[in-house]
């Protein structure tokens, strides 16, 4: 075994930022198996035995170790691989059950003590054909000792495998090679290596020929039999009909490949048609001489071979080269063969195989399903994928390195970047994308030089966002990540600065003071202490009617602060600006509405997001969603949109009491297994009912959301125009995920989520992403002035009186749009007929005047007893503190909702309504088409947490009559059928029964869906682009004025769904698919099948594809 120390500068990452890494490694040189072994290769210490069968002493062990052979039915003959002698063996049983072998004397020295290599040259005789298994070398026989190398029976003409069985004393394990060609008269060099640690590999003529790692194995057990060459130790005898030459047993894993390819961890998975598509290799010359005149040949599953002429490469030296992927090939897994052809006499080659995957492009408007959290290994990744997740959080970043450099640099060590790129490959291979969690400015909290300065001059552990250096840092982080991973489609998104404002404080640096002075013309008011404002009770001379001038200094200051004066929004924007500008890359910030209610929280990120715990009322998730919609509506970038996250975890403290002493601890039964609950809870010794999770995991701090809460929360948020859904708490969703405090207590949650994704998100997501909210004529003002001067507000928690008032409005059958002070200032109140003012104690003059004017022209004002005295409400809903018991709290809100309805109904007509307050409607619109959603909120206490009365976690069935103030046809988009309705006086009436926590989405069109017009060519060639158009038509032959969910399938002659198969939203009733057929797509008759998911109509066409 020879080694050389080789140095090589390799680029360990792809992308525009290539990280040079000087690698100094020991290179193991190849054995000169193409020649007769001599010198160290014959008699070196690592050689256990060597037989060359040459005259004058063909039985001699040339290693000098004395393991000479004795013939037992075999013969020494001429015609060996190197012109000398060879061993001839013959067929045995069933022709004749006699030995045809050469054998040593039994010796423990012939069993390697650890890693070893066995090799030989073989040349099959003609009569090998149709002979079953042939033994090449055996010291094992039927024992669990020694080794046994077999040529298996033919699987195809001249195709066999090698099988090595090893005995480990108490058991045997076997390894099989890939199929190899064993043609009569052709010499093949075969070798098996065992690393003494579970890995066995086969090599044929120096090329890898398969292998496997079996953990938990070590050295083989010492054989009690001699080494038999060319046959089995005993009957039934299975000789090898042919010649055997140069048999060697050596210690250690030897190398035979003349040159080795190593694929650099840049990319092995590609998205179809992507342009940055090189697979990069390092080629090592393992020969003991300079590799000259050689060439490398790459071929992807036999397609498109690429030849690279190699320069002279000295022995042991490395050379970097790349293979340009043809990403136009059809999406599937490929085997990339890398062959080095050596021009020796005779010439030979060595081939290695690498797995390459091409994945399909994402279809337009696919709705992201994000796991807000990381995965622990590919098993969890696949589990998430199977549920329907499209993204998860990963990709570390070395913020410190970027901060120190004050410039874009590698965001990690070469090893870390390489590992991240492997993870990106892994994600992409599974059709997923990775979200990088980037909160760079958070990392500076403890950096005193850049900390915030409070009013008294003390430091606060939070970074001041107005430092140029901090802003540059955020931008550099984005650029660094783009440079390292931006080329990889698996890098799909970034979460920017999560949870940063909650602990922040107003800053009083000179530059903060100057910035505010420049903005306002005056100094920061003395009363400012924290972010939540100053209660008017503590302000002398506060206007008794609680109407403040628009230029009130505190109001002006806090508005400036929350709209960006604290610097956070700009920091978000800077990170966003540095990140990839790819169309399929997006950024988000959360929790975006854990902020006072002004526009702009989140800066220029693509999406705002917010997490919500579903207890006690799943409907509440809609409030934070509405708040985000308004916040995005007023963002500086006009196209900002929102996503919505549901917490999979539930706080124990909000759903159940602390465990009692009676709780019996039983661990390792429930939380770690993926099993359905077997039975429910039990009664403990004190007669107290305990749910199963309380009994088995009494110390659980976070438990799994109840599935029916998940369902209701899902329908509540998906009803609104969100662009993606998110979940957090993988440890409470999947079994066996390690998390310090998240416990897996409800195995049904993941199945529930999977059902929702399969039945709603996947088929309807591309449609729902295109349908905006319907302009509501009911507004709910979350007054910024009141937040600041009463130190109140939801801050995204959906709680308090505002949360209850919002629920009351829902139970009154209203669809309130959350608005802010700025909404009224900029757009007025002309769009609204009803204005709800929860906790609006303080108003600016502009708002007070606008509300009075709104009321004077007929608008209905709904307030509470805390409402600013300048406004006299038409309807007053008294505030209340929510009682502890969830059913009582809900009942109060329902009762108040019905009372509100009773007072409103004579004055306000709803566009959509429900006869049952338990069933809550919501409408979106596109063109003349409405999308009516409804969710069933009727619930009761269950036995998961309900016995503690804090949460009603179980849904109940409900029935309701839904009405819409319009005519038209109604289609159930989940069940793909037209809905029976009654129509009179311009109103649609639909009687409907709802399952527990069930939701629905109906598409209401002016005209019926009559047909699908499918346009596609009849013929084409592979490698061509085909344009397929599907139009959903009404009875007049016109396109439906809607976004219609459509399923498109392009099925090749084998029935395989090709790229572009999937769900679409047919905008304006039409969808056009430009399908790029691959050159290796299957020729023949293809089927194009389209189904619209409203009424379920289908259409088909056929396409003849010829080989291009």
Q: Which residues bind another protein (CB under 8 A)?
A: 532, 535, 537-538, 540-545, 653, 790-792, 799-801, 856-858, 860, 865, 869, 872-876, 878, 881-882, 884, 898, 901-909, 913, 915-918, 938, 957-961, 993
Q: Shortest gap between Cβ of 536 and another protein (angstroms)?
A: 8
Q: Shortest gap between Cβ of 608 and another protein (angstroms)?
A: 25
Distance of CA 903 to the CA centre of its chain: 49
Q: Shortest gap between Cβ of 21 and another protein (angstroms)?
A: 51
Closer Cβ to another protein, 235 or 545, answer by number: 545
Closer Cβ to another protein, 715 or 801, answer by number: 801
Give residues with Cβ within 8 angstroms of 755, minimum separation 6. none
Task: Say what the alpha-carbon torsion angle 177, 178, 181, 186 is, to the nearest 10 degrees.
Answer: -40
Q: Shortest gap between Cβ of 582 and another protein (angstroms)?
A: 44
Q: Shortest gap between Cβ of 989 and another protein (angstroms)?
A: 11
**Alpha-carbon gap, residue 108 to 142, rounded angstroms:** 17
Q: Shortest gap between Cβ of 664 and another protein (angstroms)?
A: 24
Q: Are 367 and 725 in contact (CB under 8 A)?
A: yes
SS3 label, residue 855: helix
Q: Shortest gap between Cβ of 902 and another protein (angstroms)?
A: 6
Closer Cβ to another protein, 148 or 792, answer by number: 792
**What number of CA atoms fall less than 13 Å from residue 345's CA on the CB side?**
0
Tokens of 286: 């393992």
Give residues with Cβ within 8 angstroms of 380, minimum separation 6. 730, 734, 737
Q: Shortest gap between Cβ of 517 and another protein (angstroms)?
A: 27
Q: What one-character DSSP code corresponds to residue 306?
A: E
Conformational region of residue 793, where left means phi above 0, alpha means psi within -120 to 50, and beta covers everything else: left
Q: Shortest gap between Cβ of 871 and another protein (angstroms)?
A: 9
In 444-537, which ranges are E strands? Answer: 451-453, 459-463, 491-496
Residue 616, preceding peptide bond in cis (omega within 30° of 0): yes
Q: Shortest gap between Cβ of 865 and another protein (angstroms)?
A: 6
Q: Shortest gap between Cβ of 402 and another protein (angstroms)?
A: 38
Angle between helices 553-560 and 510-520 (to 10 degrees): 120
| DSSP secondary structure, 895-918, as one string | HHHHHHHHHHTTT---SEEESSTT
Give 311's strand partners: none
**Alpha-carbon gap, residue 797 to 615, rounded angstroms:** 11
Angle between helices 886-904 and 800-811 (to 10 degrees): 60
Task: Say what the alpha-carbon torsion angle 513, 516, 517, 521 is, to the nearest 10 degrees.
Answer: -160
Q: Shortest gap between Cβ of 756 and another protein (angstroms)?
A: 24
Tokens of 117: 């290599």
Give residues with Cβ within 8 angstroms of 840, minimum separation 6. 781, 783, 786, 863, 866, 867, 868, 871
Q: Shortest gap between Cβ of 363 and another protein (angstroms)?
A: 40
Closer Cβ to another protein, 171 or 884, answer by number: 884
Q: What one-character DSSP code corresponds to residue 304?
A: E
- Angle in degrees, CA 627, 631, 632, rounded to 5: 120
Closer Cβ to another protein, 471 or 790, answer by number: 790
Q: Shortest gap between Cβ of 840 and another protein (angstroms)?
A: 14
Q: Which residue has the tokens 């042919």?
A: 242
Closer Cβ to another protein, 706 or 861, answer by number: 861
Q: Are 1082 and 1103 in contact (CB under 8 A)?
A: no
- Which of 618, 633, 604 has the alpha carbon at shortest distance from 721? 633
Closer Cβ to another protein, 214 or 880, answer by number: 880
- Angle in degrees, CA 1012, 1015, 1017, rounded to 5: 150
Q: Shortest gap between Cβ of 973 and another protein (angstroms)?
A: 25
Q: Are 247 and 129 in contact (CB under 8 A)?
A: no
- Angle in degrees, CA 615, 616, 617, rounded to 5: 95
Q: Shortest gap between Cβ of 808 and another protein (angstroms)?
A: 15
Closer Cβ to another protein, 22 or 537, answer by number: 537
Q: Are 474 and 578 in contact (CB under 8 A)?
A: yes
Closer Cβ to another protein, 447 or 881, answer by number: 881
Q: Are 160 and 179 in contact (CB under 8 A)?
A: yes
Closer Cβ to another protein, 324 or 884, answer by number: 884
Closer Cβ to another protein, 609 or 916, answer by number: 916
Q: Are 508 and 465 in contact (CB under 8 A)?
A: no
Closer Cβ to another protein, 72 or 879, answer by number: 879
Residue 892, preceding peptide bond in cis (omega within 30° of 0): no
Closer Cβ to another protein, 503 or 957, answer by number: 957
Closer Cβ to another protein, 800 or 967, answer by number: 800
Q: Shortest gap between Cβ of 968 and another protein (angstroms)?
A: 20
1010: exposed, middle or buried (Cβ count in 10 Å: 0-12, 13-18, 19+): middle
The terminus-to-terminus CA distance of the chain in angstroms comes to 50
Closer Cβ to another protein, 540 or 639, answer by number: 540
Q: Shortest gap between Cβ of 521 and another protein (angstroms)?
A: 26
Closer Cβ to another protein, 54 or 936, answer by number: 936
Closer Cβ to another protein, 46 or 987, answer by number: 987
- Which of 411, 568, 598 has the alpha carbon at shortest distance from 499? 568
Closer Cβ to another protein, 415 or 905, answer by number: 905
User: β-pairing, 611-612 with 644-647?
Assistant: parallel
SS3 label, residue 1094: coil
């Amino acid at each position: 075994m020879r080694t050389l120390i080789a140095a090589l500068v390799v680029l360990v990452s792809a992308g525009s930022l290539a990280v040079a890494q000087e690698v100094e490694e020991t290179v193991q040189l190849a054995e000169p198996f193409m020649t007769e072994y001599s010198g160290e290769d014959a008699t070196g210490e690592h050689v256990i035995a060597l037989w060359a069968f040459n005259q004058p002493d063909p039985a001699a062990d040339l290693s000098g170790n004395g393991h000479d052979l004795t013939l037992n039915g075999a013969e020494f003959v001429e015609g060996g691989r190197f012109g000398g002698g060879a061993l001839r063996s013959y067929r045995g049983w069933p022709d004749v059950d006699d030995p045809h072998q050469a054998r040593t004397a039994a010796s423990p020295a012939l069993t390697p003590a650890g890693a070893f290599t066995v090799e030989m040259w073989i040349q099959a005789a003609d009569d090998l054909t149709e002979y079953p298994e042939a033994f090449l070398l055996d010291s094992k026989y039927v024992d669990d000792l020694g080794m046994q190398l077999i040529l298996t029976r033919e699987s195809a003409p001249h195709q066999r495998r090698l099988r090595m069985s090893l005995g480990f004393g108490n058991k045997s394990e076997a390894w099989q090679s890939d199929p190899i060609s064993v043609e009569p008269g052709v010499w093949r060099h075969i070798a098996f290596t065992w690393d003494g640690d579970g890995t066995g590999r086969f090599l044929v003529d120096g090329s890898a020929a398969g292998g496997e790692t079996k953990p938990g194995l070590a050295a083989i057990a010492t054989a009690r039999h001699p080494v038999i060459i060319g046959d089995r130790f005993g009957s039934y005898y299975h000789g090898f009909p042919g010649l055997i030459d140069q048999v060697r047993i050596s210690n250690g894993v030897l190398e035979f490949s003349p040159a080795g390819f190593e694929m650099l961890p840049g990319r092995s998975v590609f998205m179809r048609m992507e342009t940055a598509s090189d697979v990069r290799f390092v080629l090592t010359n393992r020969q003991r001489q300079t590799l000259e005149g050689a060439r490398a040949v790459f071929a992807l599953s036999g397609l498109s071979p690429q030849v690279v002429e190699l320069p002279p490469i000295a022995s042991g030296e490395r050379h970097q080269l790349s293979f340009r992927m043809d990403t136009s090939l059809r999406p599937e897994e490929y085997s990339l063969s890398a062959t080095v052809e050596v021009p020796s006499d005779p010439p030979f080659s060595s081939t290695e195989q690498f797995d390459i995957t091409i994945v399909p492009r994402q279809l337009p408007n696919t709705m992201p399903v994000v796991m807000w959290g990381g995965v622990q290994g590919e098993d969890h990744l696949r589990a998430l994928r199977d549920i329907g997740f499209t993204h998860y959080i990963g990709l570390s970043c070395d913020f410190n390195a970027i901060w120190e450099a004050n410039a874009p640099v590698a965001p990690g060590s070469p090893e870390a970047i390489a590992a991240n790129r492997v993870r990106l490959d892994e994600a992409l291979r599974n059709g997923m994308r990775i979200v990088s969690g980037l909160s760079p400015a958070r990392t500076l909290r403890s950096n005193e030089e850049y900390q915030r300065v409070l009013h008294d001059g003390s430091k606060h552990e939070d970074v001041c966002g107005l430092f140029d250096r901090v802003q540059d840092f955020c931008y550099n982080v984005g650029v660094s990540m783009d440079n390292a991973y931006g080329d990889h489609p698996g890098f799909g998104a970034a979460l920017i600065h999560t949870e940063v404002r909650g602990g922040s404080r107003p800053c009083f640096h000179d530059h903060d003071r100057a910035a505010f002075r420049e903005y306002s013309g005056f100094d920061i008011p003395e009363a400012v202490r924290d972010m939540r404002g100053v209660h008017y009770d503590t302000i002398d001379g506060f206007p008794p009617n609680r109407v403040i001038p628009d230029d009130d200094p505190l109001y002006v200051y806090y508005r400036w602060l929350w709209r960006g004066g604290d610097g956070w929004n700009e920091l978000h924007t800077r990170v966003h600006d540095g990140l990839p500008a790819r169309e399929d890359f997006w950024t988000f910030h959360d929790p975006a509405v854990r902020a006072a209610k002004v526009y702009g929280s989140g800066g220029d990120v693509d999406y705002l997001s917010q997490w919500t715990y579903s207890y006690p009322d799943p409907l509440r998730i809609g409030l934070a969603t509405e708040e985000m919609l308004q916040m995005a509506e007023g963002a500086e970038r006009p196209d900002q949109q929102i996503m919505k996250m549901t917490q999979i975890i539930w706080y124990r403290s909000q759903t159940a009491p602390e465990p009692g002493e009676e709780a019996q601890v039983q661990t390792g039964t429930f939380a770690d297994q993926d099993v359905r609950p077997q039975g429910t809870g039990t009664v403990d010794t004190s007669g107290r009912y305990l749910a199963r999770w309380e009994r088995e995991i009494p110390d659980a701090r976070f438990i799994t959301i109840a599935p029916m809460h998940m369902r209701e929360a899902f329908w509540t948020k998906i009803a609104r125009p969100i662009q993606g859904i998110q979940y957090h708490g993988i440890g409470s969703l999947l079994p066996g995920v390690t998390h310090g405090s998240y416990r897996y207590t409800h195995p049904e949650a993941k199945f529930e989520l999977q059902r929702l994704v399969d039945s709603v998100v996947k088929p309807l997501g591309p449609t729902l992403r295109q349908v905006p909210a319907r302009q509501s004529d009911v507004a709910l003002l979350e007054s910024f002035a009141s937040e600041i001067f009463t130190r109140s507000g939801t801050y995204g928690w959906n709680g308090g009186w505002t949360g209850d008032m919002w629920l009351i409005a829902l139970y009154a059958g209203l669809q309130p749009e959350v608005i802010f002070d700025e909404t009224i200032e900029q757009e007025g109140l002309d769009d609204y007929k009803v204005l709800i003012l929860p906790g609006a104690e303080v108003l600016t003059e502009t708002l007070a005047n606008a509300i009075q004017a709104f009321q004077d022209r007929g608008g209905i004002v709904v307030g509470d007893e805390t409402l600013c005295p300048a406004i006299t409400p038409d309807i007053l809903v008294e505030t209340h503190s929510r009682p502890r018991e969830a059913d009582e709290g809900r009942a109060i809100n329902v009762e108040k909702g019905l009372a509100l309805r009773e007072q409103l109904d004579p004055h306000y007509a709803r566009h959509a309504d429900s006869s049952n307050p338990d069933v809550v409607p919501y409408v979106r619109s596109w063109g003349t088409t409405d999308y009516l959603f409804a969710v069933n909120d009727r619930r009761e206490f269950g036995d998961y947490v309900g016995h503690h009365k804090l949460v009603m976690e179980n849904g109940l069935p409900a029935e309701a009559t839904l009405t819409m103030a319009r005519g038209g046809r109604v289609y159930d988009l989940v069940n793909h059928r037209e809905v029976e309705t009654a129509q009179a006086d311009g109103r649609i009436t639909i009687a409907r029964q709802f399952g527990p926590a069930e939701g629905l989405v109906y598409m209401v069109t002016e005209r019926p869906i009559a047909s699908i017009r499918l346009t596609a060519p009849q013929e084409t060639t592979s490698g061509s682009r085909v344009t397929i158009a599907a139009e959903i038509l009404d009875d007049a032959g016109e396109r439906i004025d809607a976004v219609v969910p459509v399923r498109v399938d392009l099925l090749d002659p084998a029935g395989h769904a090709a790229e572009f198969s999937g769900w679409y939203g047919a905008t304006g009733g039409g969808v056009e698919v430009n399908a790029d057929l691959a050159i290796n797509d299957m020729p023949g008759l293809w089927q194009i099948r389209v189904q619209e998911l409203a009424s379920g109509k289908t259409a088909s066409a056929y396409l003849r594809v010829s080989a291009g």
